[in-house]
């Protein structure tokens, strides 16, 4: 535990000084990396912890982003107030969407979540209810004002995003070492045994979706602020595949794993912008090889970290 803690301190220390050493386009990448990590961690709650094949998670990311964008541009609601609204709305969607499909077998659940993602995407594209702005999306999202400070500069948004990441990591950590996290893991490893020991399947599975949706939506709000705009492409099925892969390739239910996964799947391709065309081809091959060579993920979760008082005799 101590060892991991030091790594996290180093990690955030690097993140803090990072913007001072790189040019603005790389600061942007740093911000998006933080936000994508938040979404991936939120996906991990559903996929890595509770073991449900969710391949439509980008939709929740999008609900947060679009809620903020719509409320802010059409109704002039300050961004700071859109945050709780976006979170609650997304959690509600998470509950509504997962409720009817929660008992489907793995592959069927997968396809159903893809379905919801695509329905969401088409709704955005088709400017449903006239509020989503169609294929071009919505422009002119303003920035949050917290305690009188306007988080407007690129750096400020960067730090805000990393702050959100820190909060998310704390939430995930809390989930893991608690009745909630254990219940998720029990369901994932053996649903029947978990049920036989009092774990209410439906409650925990839907809760996983709700929490995953809520956290993803928080990232969505900040994402809308970062680009001052939202558009449908960022929240389509291809993005969901990205988040899904980040979790599995990085290491399910492992915070360092997911962060590493996000780094590998999102940041590293940025280095190869010149090879733009070959990037994703290499990617695909890399995904195959990673699963063959390291199926448990690059940095798998470790169980068995118990409170001290249980170990001493």
Partner 1 sequence: MEIFLQQIVNGLAIGSIYALVAIGYTMVYGVMKLINFAHGDVVALAAYIGLTVLMQAFGMHVDKLWAVILMFVITSLFISMFGIFLERLAYRPLRKAPRLSAVVSALGASLAIENGIMLIWGPNIKVFPSNVFPSARWHISGVIINSTQIAILLLSIILMLALYIFINKTKIGTAIRASAIDQDAAKLMGIDVNSIIIAIFALGSFLGSIGGLFIGVYYRELYFQMGWIYGLNAFIAAIIGGIGNIPGAMLGGMLLGIFNVLIAGYVSNTWAEALTFVLLILILIVKPTGILGERVAEKV
Partner 2 sequence: MLLQLNNICKTFGGIVAINDLSFEVKKNQILGVIGPNGAGKTTVFNCITGIYKPDRGKIYFDGKDITGLKPHIISKLGIARTFQTIRLFPSMSVAENIMAGRHTSCRQTWFDSLIRTPRYFRDEKENWLKVKYFIELLKLSEYTSSIVGSLPYGIQRKIEIARALASEPKLLILDEPAAGLNTKETEELVELIFQIKNMGITIMLIEHDMDMMMSLSEYIIVMNFGEKIAEGQPNDVQSNPQVIEAYLGSD
Residues that bind partner 2 (CB under 8 A): 171, 174-175, 177-183, 185-186, 189-190, 192-201, 207, 301, 303-304, 306-307, 309-311, 313
Considering only the stretches 167-175, 205-213, 216-224, 286-294, report the one whose residues sit in contact with partner 1 under the rule CB under 8 A: 286-294
- Per CB under 8 A, does 199 bind partner 1? no
- Per CB under 8 A, does 136 bind partner 1? no
112 touches, from partner 1, partner 2, none (C-beta below 5 to 8 Å by class)? partner 1
The torsion region of residue 78 among left (phi > 0), alpha (psi -120 to 50) and beta comes to beta
Residues 102-121 binding partner 1 (CB under 8 A) are 104-108, 110-112, 114-116, 118-119
Long-range contacts of 126-133 (CB under 8 A, 24+ apart): 131/70, 131/74, 132/66, 132/70, 132/232, 133/230, 133/231
Question: Angle at which helices 79-101 and 106-125 pack, to 10 degrees?
Answer: 140
Question: Least separation, in Å, of the C-beta of 137 and partner 1?
Answer: 16
SS3 state at 236: coil
Question: Least separation, in Å, of the C-beta of 44 and partner 1?
Answer: 13
156 touches, from partner 2, partner 1, none (C-beta below 5 to 8 Å by class)? none
Nearest to 221 by CA among 119, 116, 90: 90
SS3 state at 294: coil
SS3 state at 114: helix
Q: Which is nearer to partner 2, 109 or 301 (CB)?
A: 301
Q: Which is nearer to partner 1, 31 or 290 (CB)?
A: 290
Nearest to 246 by CA among 234, 223, 264, 233: 264
- Per CB under 8 A, does 291 bind partner 1? yes
CA 289, CA 303: separation in Å to the nearest integer?
Answer: 26
Question: Least separation, in Å, of the C-beta of 53 and partner 2?
Answer: 18
Question: Least separation, in Å, of the C-beta of 53 and partner 1?
Answer: 7
Question: Least separation, in Å, of the C-beta of 71 and partner 2?
Answer: 25
- Per CB under 8 A, does 66 bind partner 1? no
Nearest to 154 by CA among 72, 50, 227, 80: 227
Question: Least separation, in Å, of the C-beta of 207 and partner 1?
Answer: 20
Question: Least separation, in Å, of the C-beta of 245 and partner 1?
Answer: 6
- Per CB under 8 A, does 95 bind partner 1? no
The overall longest dimension of the chain from CA atoms, in Å, is: 66
CA 268, CA 266: separation in Å to the nearest integer?
Answer: 6
SS3 state at 152: coil
Radius of gyration of the chain, Cα coordinates, nearest whole angstrom: 19
Q: Pick one of 22, 288, 302, 303: the residue that binds partner 1 (CB under 8 A).
A: 288
Residues 235-264 binding partner 1 (CB under 8 A) are 237, 241, 244-245, 248-249, 252
Asked if 114 and 55 touch (Cβ cutoff 8 Å), the reply is: yes
Q: Which is nearer to partner 1, 192 or 310 (CB)?
A: 192
- Structure letter (DSSP) for residue 273: G
Site for partner 1, rule CB under 8 A: 53, 100-101, 104-108, 110-112, 114-116, 118-119, 122-123, 125-126, 192, 237, 241, 244-245, 248-249, 252, 277-281, 283-288, 290-292, 295
């Amino acid at each position: 535990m101590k060892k991991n803690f030091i790594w996290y301190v180093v990690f955030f220390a690097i993140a803090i000084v990072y913007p001072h050493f790189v040019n603005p386009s790389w600061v942007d990448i740093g911000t998006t990396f933080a936000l994508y990590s938040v979404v991936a961690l939120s996906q991990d709650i559903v996929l890595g912890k509770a073991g449900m094949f969710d391949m439509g998670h980008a939709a929740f990311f999008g609900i947060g982003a679009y809620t903020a964008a719509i409320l802010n541009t059409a109704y002039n609601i300050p961004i700071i107030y859109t945050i709780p609204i976006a979170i609650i709305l997304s959690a509600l969607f998470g509950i509504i969407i997962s409720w009817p499909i929660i008992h489907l077998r793995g592959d069927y659940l997968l396809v159903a979540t893809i379905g919801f993602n695509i329905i969401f995407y088409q709704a955005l594209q088709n400017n449903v209810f006239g509020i989503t702005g169609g294929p071009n999306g919505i422009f002119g999202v303003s920035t949050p004002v917290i305690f009188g400070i306007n988080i407007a500069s690129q750096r400020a948004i960067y730090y805000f995003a990393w702050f959100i990441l820190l909060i998310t990591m704390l939430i995930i950590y809390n989930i893991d070492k608690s009745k909630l996290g254990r219940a998720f893991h029990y369901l994932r490893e053996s649903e029947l045994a978990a049920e036989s020991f009092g774990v209410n399947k439906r409650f925990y599975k839907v809760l996983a979706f709700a929490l995953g949706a809520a956290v993803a939506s928080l990232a969505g709000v900040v994402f809308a602020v970062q680009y001052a705009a939202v558009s449908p492409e960022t929240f389509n099925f291809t993005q969901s595949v990205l988040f899904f892969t980040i979790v599995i390739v990085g290491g399910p239910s492992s915070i360092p794993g997911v962060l590493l996964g996000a780094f590998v799947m999102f940041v590293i391709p940025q280095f190869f912008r010149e090879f733009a065309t070959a990037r994703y081809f290499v990617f695909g091959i890399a995904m195959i090889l990673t699963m063959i060579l390291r199926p448990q993920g690059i940095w798998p979760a470790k169980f068995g970290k118990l409170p001290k008082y249980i170990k001493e005799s």
